[in-house]
Amino acid sequence: MDPPQSTSLQKGRVRDHFDTDARIWQDLYRATDLQSRILQERMRLVMEFVDGLGLPRGARVLDIGCGAGLTSRRLLEHGLHVVAMDISPKMIELARSNCADVAPPGQVEFRVGDVEDLALEEGAFELVVAMGLIQYLEWDRWALQQMHRSLRIGGHLIVTAPNRLRLANLDPWFLAVQAKRRIMKRLARRSAGSRARGPAYFDRFYAMGRLQDMLTALGFDVKALHTHGYGPFWTIQRFQRLSSAVDRLFGAARRSGLAPFLAGMGSDAVVLAQAQPSLFGLDPRRPFPDRERHRQDFESDHRAMVGARDEWLRVHPRHRGFRAEALGPASYAGTTVLVIAPHPDDEIIGCGGTLLQLVSAGARVTALHATDGAASAGVSTLPDDVRHTIRMEHARAVAKMAGFHETLLWGRAERTGLTDEACVGDLGDVLGRLKPRLVFVPFLADPHPDHRAVNRILAQALERVPESVPGARVLGYQVWSLAPCNLYCEISGDMLRKERLLFAYRTEMAVDDYVHYCAALHAYDAARLTGRNGFVEGFFGVGAAEYLALSREPAAARA
């Protein structure tokens, strides 16, 4: 596993909370109050799911967010090989102690770590247990995506989550207290301004439909979902016997069938899901969706991008109606290719599969990253020195994985760093030195300001040194826009490699699921450009002279 990145504010607060209260959390599994009994019931349900899987002795299990190790202990008693991980060093100390008498040598590993930061071993586990974890995570979808990646296909995930529709949340007194808290927080922020501090840490509730949809989108097949525990209700929480009696009453009503609606209104949910292939179309167990339906769904989900493409074609009718041609990477063997990425990750999102094929064909690929990407939400809470370097470190790692010949890191600031004339001179020098046959750049009508800025820089550099790119083609790739594609590259055989490259951009993948966005886009382009199932990267390709002519048009015409 990779070493953890610098800890964000939320992670630090969660770690400190569980470090401070480690023994309290352990004692909850022995106490008799209702909240403790709900936690104990949660563990019982988790272990029922484990028993039902019939895992062989020695099967590898990841207990992520293992806490005091009480679940790890139960898993070890089943003869399973357990990797127990928690962000809290104090919790890991307790887990090690609690498992000491049931763990034969080599059967358990204890790790201080964080699922959002660690690149878990791909396909290494038969089962992942995430109990009482995801509600504390800054990027919960990303964590679940990494759990999926750590499972073998056919392996299982058991995850628990607080239920947003829990019956206890309908307690009128609870609703009144929550409303008061929200009002007080707003007033405090207004009076304190920038000095206002956030909570010690945040956690969240989950709508069960949303949780199931998120798991399904990541490649899980949800097999079972069970909610449990009715309470504690705010109004009567000080009266333990009454609280327990109310919990038993609602539980009995649900089990008897007299109140079936209660099945989805327990305080916590335990979900069992099976890992299917992450991407559709590459494995018979997850086939391609219906082409026409996928095309309609994609255009419905990205109406603004479709509308912008159609408007661009209305303004540029000479580019309408061309039949897209296949780009032959083999014809660029021995040549130099330049890909310009406004931010580290754009080059893989837009043309990663094509670049892999060009490298395999013998082309020398140079990746130029214009900015440091430090304005991203994925790095916003990291220390400044890390925030301004971490995405460029990822870019170096990705370039090595992809086999790029050279990586250039300008490290300029987003939005403001691409406005000075030095950028034009620097790019002109690169063009003069490389004399590339292909230049990849975001499509010139992409709405992102940095994507437009690199197009402006490229156009001005080409005007200054036209002799450096004789016969070169400029290929506009798609990130935040749909291009009127006249070229495409079939990348179905490289989609898994592209997925791995995207995973290496961890801070950005935490914010947005580019893996499945790219899969949807490339399947859409395959249907639109080739009429077949598959994955293709589409481009708007023109010669350098035509590119310059388009770039000289007023911005309104380019948009």
Q: For 247-283, write each residue's pLDDT tens digit.
A: 888 889 888 888 888 889 999 999 999 999 999 999 9
Cα 266 from Cα 131, distance rounded (Å): 16
CA dist list (Å): 105 to 63, 76, 81: 18, 12, 10
Instruction: Return the SS3 of 120.
Output: coil
Cα 150 from Cα 152, distance rounded (Å): 7
- Domain layout of the chain by residue ranges: 9-166+202-275, 324-558
Cα 219 from Cα 112, distance rounded (Å): 27
For the record, the structure tokens of 235 come out as 């109004």
| pLDDT at residue 201 greater than cutoff 60 | no
Give the model's confidence band at 28: pLDDT under 50 very low, under 70 low, under 90 confident, else very high: confident
Residues 453 and 318: beta-carbon distance below 8 Å:
no
Cα 221 from Cα 164, distance rounded (Å): 22
More confident: 538 or 27: 538
Burial class (CB in 10 A: 0-12, 13-18, 19+), 435: middle
CA angle 473, 478, 484 (to 5 degrees): 70
Residues 415 and 342: beta-carbon distance below 8 Å:
no
Instruction: Return the SS3 of 94.
Output: helix
In the chain, the percentage of residues whose pLDDT exceeds 90 is 72
Q: Is 257 left (phi over 0), alpha (psi -120 to 50) or beta?
A: left
pLDDT of residue 190: 62
Same fold, 9-166+202-275 and 324-558: yes
Across the range 172-180, mean pLDDT stands at 68
pLDDT of residue 357: 98
Q: Give the containing element (helix H, strand E) for 394.
A: helix 390-402
**How many C-beta atoms surround the C-beta of residue 190 within 10 A?**
9
Cα 391 from Cα 212, distance rounded (Å): 31
pLDDT of residue 473: 95
What fold is seen in the domain 9-166+202-275? Rossmann fold (3.40.50)
pLDDT of residue 10: 75
pLDDT of residue 177: 64
Reply yes or no: is the peptide bond before residue 232 cis, omega within 30 of 0.
yes
| pLDDT at residue 469 greater than cutoff 90 | no
Say which CATH class 324-558 falls into. Answer: alpha beta
Cα 118 from Cα 11, distance rounded (Å): 13
Across the range 454-462, mean pLDDT stands at 95
182-196, 312-326, 510-524: which has the highest mean pLDDT? 510-524
- Residue 163 is given by DSSP the state B
pLDDT of residue 200: 43
| pLDDT at residue 199 greater than cutoff 50 | no
